[in-house]
Amino acid sequence: MSRIRVLVVDDSVVIRRLVSDVLSGDPGIEVVGSAPNGKLALTKLAHLAPDLLTMDVEMPEMDGISAVRAMRSSGSRLPVIMFSTLTERGATATLDALEAGASDYVTKPANVGSVSQAMDQVRAQLIPKIKALLPRGGTGTPGPVGTVARSVVSTPGARVGSSGGAAATTAAASTGGLPHGDAGGRPVRPAAPSTAPRARREGPFRLLAVGCSTGGPEALSRFLSAFPGDLPVPVVVVQHMPPVFTRQFAARLDRQHKVRVLESAGGETLEAGTVYIAPGDHHLQLQSRGAAVLTRLQQGPPENFCRPAVDVLFRSAATVFGSDVLGVVLTGMGSDGRRGSEQLVARGSSVVVQDEPTSVVWGMPGAVAGAGLAEEVLPLDELGGAVLQRLQANRGGRVPALTGPGAR
């Protein structure tokens, strides 16, 4: 396997050196060059032929967002990982970059006492994401914008969409999602399917539960664009993101889409047509209270090295709603959501996933599909419409009473 060739772009000499030293210490990665701004980085692409770029957000002459836009406008599909700060301004800029076509992001070291600690923080965040975006190593041909070529894991019996694909916040770093890999930092590949998926269940459904990670901000936005403002069920979402970022993300989605979107503060009564985003560094759960179902936040241990974790949400949804949940797993590295999907399926609920060709990283959806838990494996642009059709099977377009399964 060829080493992954990385171009480091940052206006800070200190950060360029730190990132270069961290990446050069990994035998699977080669730093082929650096640039102090986006304009110079663009001029080096043809000569250095990198497989991936790390890109600062704010730089003189040409910032990272403008550089990403220029790359995508020229047809470049090279993965780009943004370097951001854990601030309101940094969160806004990072979301702009992801919307422009960046593949993922990491946060710059903060509140660290030494250079070695800063390097450890960057190493823990950045290397697994690089290897998730380029699982076959360097010199490969990238797939769709922001994605890379992938092997297909087929799932017997699952309906496959027309595109041809199959169907952490770490406690220390608070990066908003760094699912685990193997000992070498390589992402865990989905296992081959072991069981045939359940037959497709037709509603009614009382809840839509969604999990996503790497590539998720753009995927979730496109997914929600299919929904009308009077969506007949509430939606609960875990997107691996740090604090501040989730609040900005929810506000952005609320402005862009017909459904109401908010960052959960805990204690909200679930309402149809409203999307509740788990806040960074908090698990999102659900609890029954009489005829109502409320959100609940907690800061228990990370699961799959993530907080919030999809498994926590799905497990809670299965307990409260039983067989009336439609679970969706979108693009993301790692396997968060697989065990929660097992709980949903065990209760008689349904799970569908994004397909491999349209995923930035087919880790989370691939793990669910590979375990035989997905009823459908669909391209992103078909997924929202397919889910909406199943939700509208609720009689009269009304949401059944939001009570726990034992109350029916």
Task: Tell me which residue of 289, 352, 285 sits closest to 317, measured CA to CA.
Answer: 285
Contacts 24+ apart (CB under 8 A), 12-15: 12/56, 15/56, 15/83, 15/108
Alpha helices in 195-269 (DSSP H): 216-224, 245-256
Q: Are 275 and 235 in contact (CB under 8 A)?
A: yes
Contacts of 109 (CB under 8 A, 6+ apart): 18, 117, 118, 121, 122
Q: Which two tokens stand for residue 79?
A: 């993965």
Collapsing DSSP to helix, strand or coil, 405 comes out as helix
Distance (Å, whole) CA 364 – CA 168: 13
332 membership: H or E segment, kind and range: none
Phi-psi label, residue 129: left if phi above 0, alpha if psi -120 to 50, beta otherwise: alpha
| CA 266 to centroid of chain Cα atoms | 22
Task: Tell me which residue of 152, 209, 206, 159 sits closest to 329, measured CA to CA.
Answer: 209
HEC assignment per residue over 76-90:
CCCCEEEEECCCHHH
Q: Which two tokens stand for residue 35?
A: 């640039």
Q: Are strands 376-378 and 159-160 parallel, antiparallel or unpaired?
A: parallel
Token pair 């797939």 in the structure block, residue: 143
Task: Tell me which residue of 162, 87, 134 sits closest to 386, measured CA to CA.
Answer: 162
Distance (Å, whole) CA 203 – CA 216: 26
236 membership: H or E segment, kind and range: strand 235-239
Report, as residue numbers or ranges, the catalytic residues.
Answer: 213, 240, 336
DSSP secondary structure, 149-164, as one string = -------TT-EE-TT-
